[in-house]
Amino acid sequence: MPRILVADNDVAQLDLRCRMLEAGGYTVLAAFCPSEALRHLARADLILMDLRFPNSEGVDDADVGMALIREIRESGCHLPLIVLSGWPADLEGQPEEQMVSRVMVKPVSFERLLQAVGELVT
């Protein structure tokens, strides 16, 4: 069974995404912060992540998510990567946009999420 790494600093959203994917038959690795996501990376088959994570001042910042994308790719990881964001314009035109498999705008339905994951892990 494919293992999906879900990274989101919003506990409610993280829990919701994990439950959706588990209901779809996937094994889920949950990460609340970028460093935790990096620790789970070697065990994942696909990455599903939010774009905005708290910066050093505690403010949600897309730069933190983009740094995570870069770090994932610079580590040599070429897993499919889906970015979920309520602010997709944060990624548009940035070099990191070319490093992701798909960008999905929140809110994302259960059906659309499972379809996207299924297309990328098969």
| C-alpha 100, offset from chain centre | 10
**Which residues, other chains included, contact 103 with Cβ-Cβ below 8 Å and sequence gap of 6+?**
82, 83, 85, 88, 91, 97
Q: Note the pLDDT tens digit of each residue in 36-66.
A: 999 999 999 999 999 999 998 888 889 999 9
How far is it, in rounded angstroms, from Cα 44 to Cα 41? 5
| Exposed / middle / buried, residue 99 (Cβ in 10 Å: 0-12, 13-18, 19+) | middle
User: Among residues 65, 64, 5, which one has the least CA distance to residue 30?
Assistant: 5
Of the candidates 102, 86, 96, 81, the one whose C-alpha atom is nearest the C-alpha of residue 37 is 81
pLDDT in tens, 64-118: 999 999 999 999 999 999 999 888 777 788 878 899 999 999 899 999 999 999 9
**Do 120 and 102 touch, CB atoms closer than 8 A?**
yes
